[in-house]
Amino acid sequence: MGLFDFFKGDNKSKKELTWEEKNTYKGDTPDCPNCGNPLTKRYVFSGMYCEDCQYGLEDDGDYESNESLSVYDAALIWQSNGKDEDYTFGYSEEELEDALN
């Protein structure tokens, strides 16, 4: 974690990881079957996709929509944070509960 401590600065507690830090995927990814570039996996629960040829993003064809969480992903994060209301990502608790069931 030394490298991350370096970038965090002094204004944050060392123990309190942000959501971003806890969930950012840091492992390796396989190469894209289309163009051979390494695939991108943004978060530990995210699917992999290729930034060059959009492999893995075909389902909606809209790169921007990758920024928004599905209710299912949001529910998993919400649950892993003790169902904290700060992690509802705009969904209602009923929607999140339904996605977990």
Judged by the rule CB under 5 A, the positions of this chain that interact with Zn ion are 32, 34-35, 50, 52-53, 55
User: 25: helix, coil or strand?
Assistant: coil
Residue closer to Zn ion (CB basis): 49 or 91: 49
Residue closer to Zn ion (CB basis): 21 or 52: 52
Tell me the angle at which helices 93-100 and 71-80 cross, rounded to the nearest 10 degrees: 90
Q: Residue 29: which of 20, 21, 42, 40 has the closest Cα?
A: 40
Write down the least CB distance from residue 73 to Zn ion, Å. Answer: 23
Write down the least CB distance from residue 59 to Zn ion, Å. Answer: 16
The number of CA neighbours under 13 Å toward the Cβ of 44 is: 10
Write down the least CB distance from residue 53 to Zn ion, Å. Answer: 3
Residue closer to Zn ion (CB basis): 35 or 100: 35
Distance CA 98, CA 75 (A): 9
